[in-house]
Amino acid sequence: MNPRFLLLMDLDGTMWDHKNVSDLEPPFKRVSETRVIDSRGVVVNLFTETVKILIWARSSGAIISSLSWNIPEKALAVLEAFGIRDLFHYNMIENHPNKDVMISKLLETLRSNGVSIPLCRIVYIDDRTIHLDNIYRSIGRIVFLQAWRDFTNHREAIERIEGMLGKCREDKKL
């Protein structure tokens, strides 16, 4: 299986407005289509624009993984509460900041399943740039979009991704 591309999606600040769901206290309760609260009443609002990106990516043949520095059980519980956990094929959620290590683990898993993806077909979306230097140094120059800066809605993001994928030369596979 060779997917069209790999989409890596940050969670805090990108999928939802809360900046650190590891600080929250389960259980989580969905109170509306786009709102979850924790046991203390702390609100987490889902960004529907990034959900639309995930839905488009799945329908376009992408492999999708979360990529998040969080306590896994808490972040997964929030994804579950929003009813969007199944949009992800993989969840790379670990309680450390080394997203390059998480990506390496995911790529190794994919390789062991016979999937090889060129760097120019690995798309990473995050609201912050703090992990990029380590990712570029360890993994290589993957495609990066900064949420809410490089795009403000799903249409802009899709247009940017399609444009970058269109320029991809597949000679640099991992």
The amino acid at residue 154 is H
Instruction: Confirm if 72 and 26 have CB atoms less than 8 A apart.
Output: no
Mean pLDDT per block of 10 residues along the chain (174 residues) reads 89 99 99 99 99 98 98 99 98 99 99 96 98 98 98 98 90 49
Specify the pLDDT at position 102.
Answer: 99
Region for residue 83 given its phi and psi (left: phi exceeds 0; alpha: psi -120 to 50; beta: otherwise): left
Phi-psi region of 154 (alpha: psi -120 to 50; beta: other; left: phi over 0): alpha
| Orientation of helix 154-166 relative to helix 48-59, angle to 10° | 40
Cis omega (within 30 of 0) for bond into 3: no
Q: CATH topology for 6-17+47-166?
A: Rossmann fold (3.40.50)
Distance between CA 155 and CA 11 in Å, rounded? 19
State the Cα torsion 163-62-149-32 to the nearest 10°: 140
Strand pairing class (43-45; 35-37): antiparallel
Chain-centroid distance of CA 5 in Å reads: 13
Q: Do 65 and 6 touch, CB atoms closer than 8 A?
A: yes
Q: How far apart are CA 57 and CA 35, in angstroms?
A: 23
pTM of the model: 0.95
pLDDT value at residue 54: 99
Task: Check residue 1 and give its pLDDT.
Answer: 55
